[in-house]
A and B are shown apart, each in its own frame.
Chain A
Amino acid sequence: MSSLAGILAEHAGREGPLLPILHDVQKMFGHVSEDAMREIAQTLNLTRAEVYGVVSFYHDFRTEAEARPVLKLCRAEACKARGVEALVQVAEGQSRVKVEPIYCLGLCSVGPAALVGDTVHARLDSTRLTTLLASL
C-alpha cells in the first residue's frame, strides 16, 4: 500500500482532491479496491459511504480488476447513424476482449469509433474491428 500512500501524499492540500485521487488509484492498480476506499476516506476525513458513493456514481471507476483488455465502442447517436449497431455482433462474437459502451469520443464525423486505453480508432467496419480486437 506504499504507493497508495504516495498518491494520497501527492494530492494533500489540493482543493476537491477525491476525483484526481481515484483516477490515480485506478491508473496504478487497475481498479479502486475496498481497502483503497477505506484508506482514502480516512485521509480525506470522509465516511467510507461517501467515497463509495462517488466511486459508484462515475462510469469510469471499477471496484474489481478487469483481467481482459478493454475496448470502448461508441454507441452514441452519430456512431449509430454510421452503423455501429451492426458491429456490436462482431464485438459480442468474442470474449477475449471486454467490449464496453462509451457515449461519444468526439469523432462523430468519422465513426464508428472506439477507444483502447488512450488510443483512438475511427472508420471501423467489421473487418477493421475484427483486426483491432485480435491485436489487443
Chain B
Amino acid sequence: MKIRISDDALAIACGADTVAQAFMRAGAEVERVSSWGMHWLEPLVDVEGVGYAIVTADQVETILAGEAESIGPIAEHPFLTRQSRLTFARAGKTRSTSLDDYYSSDGWRGLATARTMGAEATIETVLASGLRGRGGAGFPAGIKWKTVASAQADTKYIVCNADEGDSATFADRMVMEGDPFMLIEGMAIAALAVGAQKGYVYIRSEYPHAIAKMETAIAASAHLVAPFVVEVRVGAGAYVCGEETSLLNSLEGKRGEVRAKPPLPALEGLFGKPTVVNNVLTLAAIPWILTHGGEAYAAYGMGRSKGTMPVQLAGNIKYGGLFEVGFGITLGELVNDIGGGTDSGRAVRCVQVGGPLGAYIPPSRFDLPFDYEAFAAADALIGHAGITVFDDTVDMAQMARFAMEFCAVESCGKCTPCRLGSTRGVETLDQIIAGKNVEANLALLADLSETMKFGSLCALGGFTPYPVMSAITHFPEDFR
C-alpha cells in the first residue's frame, strides 16, 4: 500500500511532515509528491488514489486499517474535474524532483519538439498559442521572444521572474515546488528560441522550499538542457523587485530601483544585454504548448485571452486553492460556486483581484468574466490571478489605508508620485478615518490618485490607486 503526501510548503505548514513521519513509523511506504492544490484539505493523504483530509498523526492507524472516513477518489473530486489542468497536469501525481516521474509524464517532450523544429518555428508556435505574460501585464510572449531573437548580441539571457509577491498568489510557488523540471524545460525552450546561453530564476527569499527544490532540479537536469545553464538567485524581501526592470537591477547586485523604459529589457536588459523576462507561469506553459501545438492551447480561453489561467483562490474562502481554468469564467463562479463563499460563513463583502495593486470588487460585479480586456474595462486588473475574499467584517477604509501604507513601505524611491504620494496618501486617509474634513480630503485623495496613476514610473505607484479608489467607489459608507 503506497501512501502519497505532498511536500509542498503549504502542506508542510499544515503539518504534512509530521503526518508523513507517523506513516513511516507505522511501516507504510510513503511517497512525497506535489500538491493537488486543494488547500482546505491539507494535509491530504492519498492511499492508492483515495483521499483522507486534514489528517493528523493520531489518525494514521485508523487510515492504515481502512477504518477512517475518506473523501473518495481524489482525482474525481469536483474541485478537480471542473478544471482544465494544462500547466498543473502533474499536480498531486508526481514526485517533484524525480526525473523518472517527469520523463514518464510527458516531460522534456516540448524541448525535444523545439529542438527538432528549430528557433523560428518555436516562436511561431508560441505566437499561435496566443500566450500572454502571466505576471500581470499580459504582453504577448511570442512577440517578446521575437524581439529578443532578432536582437544582435554576443550574450542573451532568459530571466524567470519568480518574485511572486502579490498577496493571494501561490501558483509560481506551486510550480517551483511541485514541477520544477517543467519550468526549467520552459526556460530551455525560450533559450533555444532566442539564442540565449544563460538563465536566471529570481526567487523571493520568502520561499525557502521553492529555492531548495529549484536548486535540486537544476542540478539534476543540467545535462539535459546543456549548453544552456540555469542558476537560482534569491531576492531579499523587496516587493518592487517583482517589477521586471527593478528585478534586473537586483540581479546585477544593485538597489532594486525601477529603470525607465525605453530601452526595453528585450533589447537592453540584464547587464545591458537582450533579455527575455517572463513570469514562472508564462514559462511553465511553454512545454505544454510545444508538445501539443499552439492551436491546441489557443482553443482554451475567450477573446484575446487565450489558454488557461491558474487562478488562486485565497483569503477568507471556504475551498481555497489552485484552480486552473480557461479564461472567461466569471468571478461569481470562482468565488461562490467553486470557492464556496467565505470560510467564516458570513456574507462575501468584496474580493480583491490581482494582489495589493488590484481593485476591490463588490458582489454586484461578480458577473465579470476572467478576461484581460473585460477587467481593464471595469477599472480592474487580473494581475497574477490571485483572488482574496473578504467577509462583511472588513473595514474598507483600513484596507485603502493599507494599500497606501504598503506602497510607502515598498516604494523603491525612484519616482516622486510613488515615493511621496504614498506617504501623503496614508496621512490623508488617516484624516478621513478620523472624520476630519472628509469631503475635502476625499477630493484630495482622488486628485493624488490621478497623479500617482499617470505620473509613476512603474505599476507599484501607478496601480496603488486601484485598491484605494475602488474601495471608495464601491464602499463609500466606510469612509464617511
A interface with B by C-beta (< 8 Å)? 15-20, 22-23, 44, 53-54, 57-61, 76-82, 102-111, 113, 115, 118, 120-123
Contacts of A78 in B (CB 8 A): 167-168, 314-315, 386, 388
Q: Can you list 20 A-B pairs, Cβ within 8 angstroms, ordered by A? A: A16-B253, A19-B235, A53-B255, A57-B255, A58-B235, A77-B167, A77-B315, A81-B316, A103-B239, A103-B406, A104-B166, A104-B206, A106-B10, A107-B13, A108-B314, A109-B10, A109-B312, A109-B320, A110-B13, A118-B208
A70 to chain B, nearest CB (A): 13
Contacts of B402 in A (CB 8 A): 77, 80
Bound complex: CA A70 to CA B101 (Å)? 38
B394 adjacent to A81 (CB under 8 Å): yes
A81 adjacent to B390 (CB under 8 Å): yes
**In the complex, B102 has a CB within 8 A of chain A:** no
Tell me whether A120 and B317 are in contact in the complex, defined as CB-CB below 8 angstroms, given that A19-B233, A54-B254, A108-B170 are known contacts: no
One of A17, A60, A105, A122 near B253 (C-beta < 8 A): A17
Bound complex: CA A81 to CA B352 (Å)? 10
Which of B239, B253, B399 is the most central at the interface, judged by chain A CB atoms within 10 Å of its CB? Answer: B253
Contacts of A57 in B (CB 8 A): 238, 255-257, 412
A82 adjacent to B167 (CB under 8 Å): no
Binary CB contact string for chain B from 397 to 425 against chain A (1 if under 8 A, 0 otherwise)? 00100100010001010000000000000
A108 adjacent to B388 (CB under 8 Å): yes
B10 adjacent to A77 (CB under 8 Å): no
Additional A-B contacts beyond A59-B238, A104-B165, A110-B13 (18; CB < 8 A): A16-B251, A16-B252, A17-B253, A22-B236, A57-B238, A78-B167, A81-B388, A81-B389, A104-B164, A104-B166, A104-B167, A104-B169, A106-B9, A106-B169, A107-B9, A107-B10, A109-B40, A109-B170
Tell me whether A109 and B313 are in contact in the complex, defined as CB-CB below 8 angstroms, given that A17-B253, A76-B356, A103-B239 are known contacts: yes
Contacts of A104 in B (CB 8 A): 164-167, 169, 206
A23 adjacent to B10 (CB under 8 Å): no
One of A17, A76, A106 near B207 (C-beta < 8 A): A106
Tell me whether A77 and B388 are in contact in the complex, defined as CB-CB below 8 angstroms, given that A107-B170, A109-B40 are known contacts: yes
Contacts of B254 in A (CB 8 A): 18, 54
Contacts of B271 in A (CB 8 A): 15-16
B206 adjacent to A102 (CB under 8 Å): yes
A-B contact count (CB 8 A): 151
| Interfacial residues of chain B within 208-260, with CB under 8 A of chain A in the complex | 208-209, 233-239, 250-257
User: Main SS of the interface on chain B?
Assistant: mixed
Bound complex: CA A19 to CA B394 (Å)? 39
Bound complex: CA A23 to CA B316 (Å)? 35
B165 adjacent to A103 (CB under 8 Å): yes
Contacts of B406 in A (CB 8 A): 103
Closest residue on chain B to residue A22 by CB atoms: B236
One of A53, A61, A76 near B236 (C-beta < 8 A): A61
Bound complex: CA A30 to CA B9 (Å)? 24
B107 to chain A, nearest CB (A): 24
Which of B206, B235, B255 is the most central at the interface, judged by chain A CB atoms within 10 Å of its CB? Answer: B206
B21 to chain A, nearest CB (A): 15
A105 adjacent to B315 (CB under 8 Å): no
Contacts of B165 in A (CB 8 A): 103-104
Contacts of A15 in B (CB 8 A): 252, 271
**In the complex, B306 has a CB within 8 A of chain A:** no
Contacts of A123 in B (CB 8 A): 13-14
Bound complex: CA A123 to CA B386 (Å)? 19
Bound complex: CA A79 to CA B207 (Å)? 16
Bound complex: CA A120 to CA B389 (Å)? 22
Contacts of A20 in B (CB 8 A): 233-234
Contacts of B317 in A (CB 8 A): 109
Tell me whether A79 and B167 are in contact in the complex, defined as CB-CB below 8 angstroms, given that A106-B173, A108-B320 are known contacts: yes
Which of B39, B234, B388, B410 is the most central at the interface, judged by chain A CB atoms within 10 Å of its CB? Answer: B388
Bound complex: CA A17 to CA B253 (Å)? 6
A77 adjacent to B168 (CB under 8 Å): yes
| Interfacial residues of chain B within 8-59, with CB under 8 A of chain A in the complex | 9-10, 12-14, 39-40, 42
Binary CB contact string for chain B from 332 to 365 against chain A (1 if under 8 A, 0 otherwise)? 0000000000010000000010011000000000
**In the complex, B205 has a CB within 8 A of chain A:** yes
B207 to chain A, nearest CB (A): 6
A3 to chain B, nearest CB (A): 20
Bound complex: CA A118 to CA B205 (Å)? 10
Bound complex: CA A130 to CA B42 (Å)? 22
A21 to chain B, nearest CB (A): 8
B167 adjacent to A23 (CB under 8 Å): no
Which of A16, A78, A82, A111 is the most central at the interface, judged by chain B CB atoms within 10 Å of its CB? Answer: A78
Top 10 nearest A-B pairs (CB, nearest first) are: A109-B320, A18-B253, A108-B314, A58-B236, A59-B237, A76-B167, A81-B315, A122-B13, A106-B170, A120-B13
